[in-house]
């Protein structure tokens, strides 16, 4: 009985401090110091409409936009997930051959593997710099822009996520597509 009573008292005390106090402090600091990211890094238009999250991929299928990596959940940010297929699976071969065809890949101009492989959550917001360059000609021709202009935009957008620890430079797909739309308006 004493055991049970002490257990309940300690359960309540830890609940109070670790759930109430701790969560409250983290929430207060997040709201005060990183309010934008604490809300999910949402991007809104001037009139307040939410376009998406800077950290999440969204579907792009039109030729004038850069396309993200494939998503096993069709970019569903309310129920994210991966394909969970073995790398030896024929299902994966079927999916990848469709993706390669959509990008117009040929043996002479093979698709970068990261554009054929679905990410873990299906929401990877990035592609590599070379995956962006792979799509530059399509984007440029759909927008009647010189391909140099698109490549220059890729240069400006690419960043190295971990400095010297990550050799591949990445491009945020939603951000570069927003920048493209802005360029078109100018």
Contact between 6 and other proteins (CB under 8 A)?
Answer: yes
Footprint of other proteins on 131-160 (CB under 8 A)? none
Footprint of other proteins on 69-98 (CB under 8 A)? 69, 75-90, 92-93, 96-97
Contact between 15 and other proteins (CB under 8 A)?
Answer: yes
Among 25, 102, 142, 152, binds other proteins (CB under 8 A): 25
- Cβ–Cβ contacts within 10 Å for residue 51, how many? 13
Among 50, 102, 142, 184, binds other proteins (CB under 8 A): 50
- Which of these, 175, 181, 102, 168, lies nearest to 135 by C-alpha position? 102
Alpha-carbon distances of 173 from 12, 37, 154, rounded to whole Å: 46, 18, 10
Query: Per the structure block, which two tokens stand in for 71?
Result: 């998503």
| Minimal distance, residue 155 CB to other proteins, in Å | 18
| 3-state SS assignment for residue 159 | strand
**Which of the stretches 103-111, 137-145, 146-154 binds other proteins when contact is defined by CB under 8 A?**
103-111
Residue where the block lists tokens 């997040």: 30
Q: What is the DSSP string of 80-99?
A: -------TT-HHHHHHHHHH
Contact between 49 and other proteins (CB under 8 A)?
Answer: yes
Contact between 184 and other proteins (CB under 8 A)?
Answer: no
> Any bridge partners for residue 44, and if so which?
50
Among 63, 102, 109, 146, binds other proteins (CB under 8 A): 109
Among 167, 182, 185, 186, binds other proteins (CB under 8 A): 167
| Minimal distance, residue 144 CB to other proteins, in Å | 19
Alpha-carbon distances of 31 from 14, 39, 93, 146, rounded to whole Å: 24, 8, 45, 43
Whichever of 108 and 144 has its CB closer to other proteins, that residue is: 108
């Amino acid at each position: 009985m004493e055991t049970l009573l002490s257990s309940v008292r300690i359960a309540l005390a830890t609940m109070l401090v670790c759930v109430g106090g701790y969560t409250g402090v983290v929430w207060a600091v997040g709201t005060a110091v990183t309010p934008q990211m604490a809300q999910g890094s949402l991007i809104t238009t001037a009139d307040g409409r939410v376009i998406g999250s800077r950290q999440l991929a969204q579907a792009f299928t039109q030729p004038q936009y850069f396309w993200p990596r494939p998503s096993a959940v069709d970019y569903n940010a309310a129920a994210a997930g991966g394909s969970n297929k073995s790398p030896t699976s024929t299902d994966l071969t079927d999916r990848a051959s469709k993706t390669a065809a959509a990008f117009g890949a040929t043996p002479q101009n093979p698709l970068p593997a990261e554009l054929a492989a679905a990410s873990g959550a299906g929401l990877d917001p990035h592609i590599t710099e070379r995956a962006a360059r792979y799509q530059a000609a399509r984007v440029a021709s759909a927008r009647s822009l010189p391909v140099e202009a698109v490549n220059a935009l890729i240069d400006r957008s690419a960043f190295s996520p971990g400095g010297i620890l990550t050799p591949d430079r990445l491009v945020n797909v939603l951000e570069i597509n927003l920048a493209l739309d802005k360029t078109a308006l100018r």
